[in-house]
Structure 1
Amino acid sequence: MKETLHAVRQGSGAPGRQYEYLILTVRPDESVPVAYQRLREHAEYGKWELERSRLYMGGGRQYWMRRRVLRVERTLDVF
C-alpha cells in the first residue's frame, strides 16, 4: 500500500477552508480488509475523512482522504 501526502490546497466545498489531502493507493494483489483497516486508523487517529474512492480496472484502488488545516491566530499582543 502506498501513501502520498499532498500539500494544502483550496477546498472546493467552501471558500476560505484549507484542506490537506492523503492519497492511499492499494494494488490489486493486496487484501481489501487490510486497506479498510488502514483507512479506519487514519480516520480515527489522524482525524482524516474519506473524500473519494476509485476502483480501477484490474482491481487497483485509490482512496482520497482529507482533513481541514486549522490556522491559529494570535490573540495576545506582547509589546
Structure 2
Amino acid sequence: MGSRLAGRTRSEWAAEGGQYEYRVLTIPRTTSRNDARRLLTEQAEYGRWELARTLLFAGGERKVWLRRKIIRVRSTLAETLD
C-alpha cells in the first residue's frame, strides 16, 4: 500500500516529475541529543522538512539530510485571451 499525496501515490507523483529539494546539516559532537532533536523538530514543523537520512561518525559528529517537496504552482487563468 503506497502512501497518498493529495490523491496520488508517491510513485505517481515521482513519475509526473515530482522533485525534492535537500538540505544537509552537520551537527557537531558537542551538541546534545536533545538539542539535535529540538533542532530537527523545528525544521520539520516550520520549514516543512522531513528526515531523509542520518549518518553518525565515529567522533560523534552527525550529518543529517532533510528533504521537502518542490511544489510548482500552475496558473488557473484561461490562456484564451484574444
Q: Give the TM-score category using the shorter length.
A: 0.7 to 0.9
Q: How many residues align?
A: 67
Query: Match for 2:40: what amino acid?
Result: L
> What percentage of aligned pairs have identical amino acids?
46
In structure 2, what is the equivalent of residue 54 of structure 1?
A: 55
CA distance in 2 between partners of 1:54 and 1:66 (Å): 15
Does the residue aligned with 1:22 lie in a helix, a strand or coil?
strand
CA distance, structure 2, for counterparts of residue 29 and residue 44 of structure 1: 24
Q: Which residue of 1 aligns with 2:19?
A: 18
Structure 2 residue ranges without an equivalent (≥5): 1-10
Unaligned 5+ segments in structure 1 are 1-12
Write out aligned runs for 1:64-75 (5 A): 64-75=65-76
In structure 2, what is the equivalent of residue 6 of structure 1?
A: none
In the alignment, does 2:63 pair up with 1:44?
Answer: no
Structure possessing the higher radius of gyration over alpha carbons: 2
1:22 Cα deviation after fit: 1.2
Higher helix share: 2
Q: CA RMSD in A?
A: 1.5
TM-score (norm 1): 0.75
TM-score, reference length from structure 2: 0.73
- Flag as ranges the 4+ runs of structure 1 deviating above 3 A: none
